[in-house]
Amino acid sequence: PALAAGSTVVLKPAEWTPLTASLLADITHEAGLPPGVFNVVQGYGDEAGAPLTADPAVRRISFTGSVPTAHRIAEAAAAHLVPCSFELGGKSPLLVLADADLDLAADLAVEQYDNAGQVCLAATRILVEESVRDAFLGRFLDRVAQLTQGDPRDESTDIGPNIHPRHADRVDGFVWRALAAGAKAVVGGGRNTALDGALGGKYYLPTLLTDVDQDSEIVQEEVFGPVLTLQTFPDGDDDEAVRLANGTRFGLAATLAAGDRERAARIAARLVAGTVWINCFYVRDLSAPFGGSRLSGVGREGGDWSFDFYCDLKNTVTASKRWADRG
């Protein structure tokens, strides 16, 4: 959208994910974009990112990443009153109602392990109506048992590694602190040691934790790994379902598995989320607005929703009948 609005762009990717950004620069060059219109700067945040966000020549900052980094960027941008657009983290819920297609619900839940859980939109908090908990859980565990973890370059692989050994350590820390606090791992709960030698010890088993409290770290904080939690709410208690779903600092997305259209619509209307999927997940129309509420972000992307952000609006007013007579 920045390019479509006529702006020039400097893209600084995360230091652990440099290759796609460089590939995009190659593609824009081959497509004939004039030199200097799309630029890529590689480097660490302190060395490359901080000078960019503090430079007064930068007139807009769009950032995708963590909340702490967004705080630092906002502070730097404030010095020059530079507007910011943030797409940040999430701790999204997946609500499973008693009348839902439980096979579909289980499929949706397992889908949250995609990309080794490194998806900001992932519905990592599964909230199930009590009467169908066991039936849902059985289907979910059956599907998890069929997943293949391994090299992402192998087409038979369902779950690859985390991005970096340090990130795998972070994911493991979340899980072990949760277990120490009383959580139960009904599946996973640690590293996939059988694959440790393959790609540097970055593989973490798809994990589901139960017996977790709403105010616990594992429920409240973004893990960004293949780790889900399971909680229940009383049958028919939509208020409690919504309370649990909205009970974090985030509001990026929500997923709902339901059989009754009207009940699903009522619940969806009460969810604090920039995107709500009903009986589906990650269906994105790029012309639709995308973004989050609360600590999940500021602003929207998609379609022409962000054009105003990348432009300064100008209003030109002309007085009538004041033109000089030129014959």
Active site residues: 87, 120
The label of the residue with tokens 């509001």 reads 251
Closest CA to 89 of 54, 119, 112: 119
Q: If you count DSSP H runs as helices and E runs as strands, how many of each does the chain have, helices first?
A: 9, 12
Element (H, E) at 323: none
Q: The tokens of 134 are what?
A: 């066991």
* Structure letter (DSSP) for residue 204: B
Q: What is the 3-state secondary structure (H, E, C) of 247-311?
A: CCCCCCEEEEECCCHHHHHHHHHHCCCCEEEECCCCCCCCCCCECCCHHHEECCECCCCCCCCCC
Cα separation, 272 vs 107, in Å, equals 24
Tokens of 106: 């289980």
Say if residues 106 and 122 touch (Cβ distance below 8 Å).
no
Q: What values do phi and psi take at 187, rounded to 5?
A: -155, 145
- For the CA atoms of 216, 217, 218, 223, what is the dihedral angle to 10 degrees? 160
Residue 205's SS3 state is coil
Q: How far apart are the first and last CA of the chain?
A: 45
| CA gap 170, 223 in Å, rounded | 8
